[in-house]
Structure 1
Amino acid sequence: MFVRIVKMSFNEIHIDEFLRNFHLNKERIRNFEGCRFLELYRDKTNSNIFFTYSYWNTEADLNAYRQSELFKNVWSKTKPLFNDKPEAWSVDKVVTLD
């Protein structure tokens, strides 16, 4: 399994626009081939900071999504709303405790 975490920081006036776009596309992202899980988190201290957390079958699946028209459409609407450079991490899950 391939885990991707993305940190995004928005200008306060653009948060509602980001959330509308995310909610319009979240099912399509989650149902993209190879995507097994998708969550959106909001920082409790800095309410303009969000994180996406997603599981992919393989790195190739994530890369296929990143080259897709869906990603290009979502990212083209999201990128202008940032107030800081986004950060992304690809990580391996080491331990899960239920």
Structure 2
Amino acid sequence: MLVRIVKMSFEPSKIEEFLANFEINKQKIRAFEGCQFLELYRDLNNTNIFFTYSYWNSEKDLNNYRHSELFKSVWSKTKPLFNAKPEAWSVDKLHSLE
């Protein structure tokens, strides 16, 4: 399983627009083939910084999403709202404790 973490920093005046777009698309992203989990986090101290955290069955599934019309649609509305370059990591989960 692949874990994808994306850090995004937004213009403060654009946060509500981002959140509205995420709300519209979150179920579609989560239902995309190969996506097992999706969460959105907000930094406590820098409230214009957000992270998405998602689980994918494979890198191929993630890449299929990243090349999909859904991603292109979401990203075309999200990208203009940034005030810094987004950062992304694909990682392997080594341990999970509950």
User: Please, what TM-score do these two structures have when normalized by structure 1?
Assistant: 1.00
User: Equivalent residues in 2 for 1:9-88 (5 A)?
Assistant: 9-88=9-88
Partner letter of residue 69 of structure 1? Answer: E
Equivalent residue pairs, number: 98
Flag structure 1 segments of 5+ consecutive residues without an equivalent.
Answer: none
Q: State how far apart, in whole Å, the 2-side matches of 1:58 and 1:94 are.
A: 15
**CA RMSD after TM alignment:** 0.2
- Tell me by how many angstroms 1:61 deviates: 0.1
Q: Determine what percentage of the aligned residue pairs are the same residue.
A: 73
Unpaired segments ≥5 residues, structure 2: none
Shift of 1:6: 0.0
In structure 2, give the amino acid aligned to 1:3.
V
2:94 alignment partner in structure 1: 94
The residue type equivalent to 2:16 in the other structure is D
Post-superposition CA distance 1:41-86 (Å, at most 9, x none): 0000100000000000000000000000000000000000000000
Distance, in Å, in 2 between the alignment partners of 1:11 and 1:80 is 9
Q: Name the TM-score, length of structure 2 as normaliser.
A: 1.00
SS at match of 1:47: coil
